[in-house]
Chain A
Amino acid sequence: MTANLGATSLATAGAVERTWQVLAGIVDPEIPAISIIDLGIVGRVSLTAGVLEVELLPTFIGCPALEMVRGTISQRLEPLRTDPQLAIGRVAITTSYAEPWTAERITATGRAALRASGFAPPEVGTAGHEALPPRATCPYCGSRRTVLENAFGPTRCRSIHYCTDCRQPFEQFKDG
């Protein structure tokens, strides 16, 4: 029996591992340069009693891209779900606010990817609150002499800034 249990947990670990690999290949629909893993919006992945749970942490509560992400995840996980060796009965994609998404969750790779596509990554620890307006570093020249043009940008998670050194407008990915 012990051998069987061992084999089961090994299969579970394998399924979870393969799920993370699949998720790493899914990009943010609004900024396709960054994966949802590097953006930090995937919380936990677990397989319990045949239910594979992928927990999402929304950047903003009303983010309309979340539904797209949810659809893509469920589509990409379909081959895993139908793989008899992995024993996944059902995929559940949930959202959680227990440990809410913040800028700290964006990985170093993610921050580099944002900069490379002309977005200033959020300045860690300046979220909302008294810190308004948020500071931003110009993604083009690295200057800190930037001004906030509009706290509300083309999507809910982006604000518009202007660099007074290289005179470029740019966007910042906002802290949640």
Chain B
Amino acid sequence: MSGPAPAHGAATASLLLALADDDFVLGFADSEWTGIAPHLEEDVAMSSMAQDELGHASAYYGLLAKLTGRDPDEIAYDRPAAAFRHCRLVDHGRGDWARTMARRWLYDTANAVRLEALAQSTDRSLAELVVKVRREESYHLAHDEAWIERLANHPGEPRRRLIEALDLVGPDAPSVLAPLADEPALLASGVQPVGGSELQALWLERLEPVLVRTGLRLPAPAAAALDPVTARSGHGSDFEALWTEFTFVRRLDPVATW
């Protein structure tokens, strides 16, 4: 196995956990739309994207499991809610369709910037996985942008709801790229080639054309979304409810098999 020196193991583990938890929590939240999306084709699209996110999470948990000698299912299902390290943006519940779309768009664009950098990671198994993940994410980005424009360009309720959604989740959006507490070690080893602040600037550039075209505005960042610790801890009641749901079977019967 190639990869960074073992000294960097703990920092790499924290990066993998952040990547995995983000996709895992978003995937679970979005899977709640299965059966109730605005129309049938959207139902299929949203379910497919949720499936992708869970697939990506599972692959990141797999790398983390290899690194730490643990079982991927244990990492995913046996932690208390407070031990999850997903970012504040995906901590919001799915809300209405506009909120789900606003959150997806902000997350997918930020994640795209992060993955573009990680494709150059010195951790080879992570870099290889990221190449594959990025190909799949390109479908999500196209889907998100189409929906943001569709809602934004429809005066009245759709645009109003989208603006409300951006006002609610927008301040937390920079949390996806907030520097991790271990960032100095990750940058030194090259496991994460580009730092969080630089990624945030690249992300804002990426959003700009859509914001200009639609006349939408991204609210100012919340202080908690920029801090390495609060960006990924102190989860709210939406996540407590989601955690209760996705750990239900595991808590009921830890050795259940399909």
Q: B75 at interface (Cβ–Cβ under 8 A)?
A: no
Additional 9 contacts, C-beta under 8 A, given A63-B55, A96-B128, A98-B128: A61-B52, A61-B132, A61-B136, A62-B53, A97-B129, A127-B135, A129-B138, A149-B41, A176-B135
**Proximity bits, B10-49, A CB within 8 Å = 1, else 0:** 0000000000000000000000000000000100110011
**Proximity bits, A148-159, B CB within 8 Å = 1, else 0:** 011111101000
Q: Is the CB of B132 within 8 A of A176?
A: yes
Chain A contacts to B: CB under 8 angstroms: 60-64, 96-98, 100, 127-129, 132-133, 149-154, 156, 160, 175-176
Q: Which residues of B contact A175 (CB under 8 A)?
A: 135
Q: Report the Cα distance A119→B41, complex, angstroms.
A: 19
Q: Is the CB of B48 within 8 A of A152?
A: yes
**From B58, B128, B132, B138, contact of A132 by CB (8 A):** B138
| In the complex, residue of chain B having the shortest beta-carbon distance to the beta carbon of A127 | B135
Q: Is the CB of B56 within 8 A of A62?
A: yes
Q: Which residues of B contact A63 (CB under 8 A)?
A: 55
Q: Report the Cα distance A96→B134, complex, angstroms.
A: 16
Q: B120 at interface (Cβ–Cβ under 8 A)?
A: no
Q: Report the Cα distance A100→B45, complex, angstroms.
A: 23
Q: Report the Cα distance A149→B51, complex, angstroms.
A: 20
**The 7 A-B residue pairs with the shortest CB-CB distance in the complex, in nearest-first order:** A62-B55, A128-B138, A152-B45, A61-B55, A152-B48, A97-B128, A100-B132
Q: Is the CB of B51 within 8 A of A62?
A: yes
A-B contact pairs, 11 of them (CB 8 A): A61-B59, A62-B56, A100-B131, A128-B134, A128-B135, A129-B135, A149-B41, A150-B41, A151-B139, A152-B143, A175-B135
Q: Report the Cα distance A133→B44, complex, angstroms.
A: 17
Q: Which residues of B contact A151 (CB under 8 A)?
A: 45, 139, 142-143
Q: Which residues of B contact A176 (CB under 8 A)?
A: 132, 135-136
Q: Which residues of B contact A127 (CB under 8 A)?
A: 135
Q: Which residues of A contact B59 (CB under 8 A)?
A: 61, 97
Q: B229 at interface (Cβ–Cβ under 8 A)?
A: no
Q: Which residues of B contact A160 (CB under 8 A)?
A: 41
Q: B54 at interface (Cβ–Cβ under 8 A)?
A: yes
Q: B242 at interface (Cβ–Cβ under 8 A)?
A: no
A156/B48 contact (C-beta < 8 A), A63-B55, A132-B138, A132-B139 known: yes
Q: Is the CB of A152 within 8 A of B44?
A: yes
Q: Is the CB of B52 within 8 A of A62?
A: yes
| In the complex, residue of chain A having the shortest beta-carbon distance to the beta carbon of B127 | A97
Q: Report the Cα distance A176→B136, complex, angstroms.
A: 7
Residue among A149, A150, A153 with max Cβ neighbours from chain B (10 Å)? A150
**Proximity bits, B118-154, A CB within 8 Å = 1, else 0:** 0000000100110111111111001100000000000
| In the complex, residue of chain A having the shortest beta-carbon distance to the beta carbon of B126 | A97
Q: Which residues of A contact B51 (CB under 8 A)?
A: 62, 64, 156
**Proximity bits, B51-89, A CB within 8 Å = 1, else 0:** 111111011000000000000000000000000000000
Q: Which residues of A contact B45 (CB under 8 A)?
A: 150-152
| In the complex, residue of chain A having the shortest beta-carbon distance to the beta carbon of B57 | A62
Q: Report the Cα distance A153→B49, complex, angstroms.
A: 11
Q: Which residues of A contact B137 (CB under 8 A)?
A: 128
Q: Is the CB of A62 within 8 A of B135?
A: no
Q: Is the CB of B139 within 8 A of A152?
A: yes
Q: Report the Cα distance A60→B138, complex, angstroms.
A: 13
Q: Report the Cα distance A126→B122, complex, angstroms.
A: 28
Residue among B49, B53, B139 with max Cβ neighbours from chain A (10 Å)? B139
Q: Which residues of B contact A98 (CB under 8 A)?
A: 128
Q: Is the CB of B44 within 8 A of A128?
A: no
A62/B54 contact (C-beta < 8 A), A100-B132, A150-B45 known: yes
Q: Is the CB of A60 within 8 A of B44?
A: no
Q: Is the CB of A62 within 8 A of B138?
A: no
Q: Report the Cα distance A129→B52, complex, angstroms.
A: 16
CB distance from B174 to the nearest CB of A (A): 25
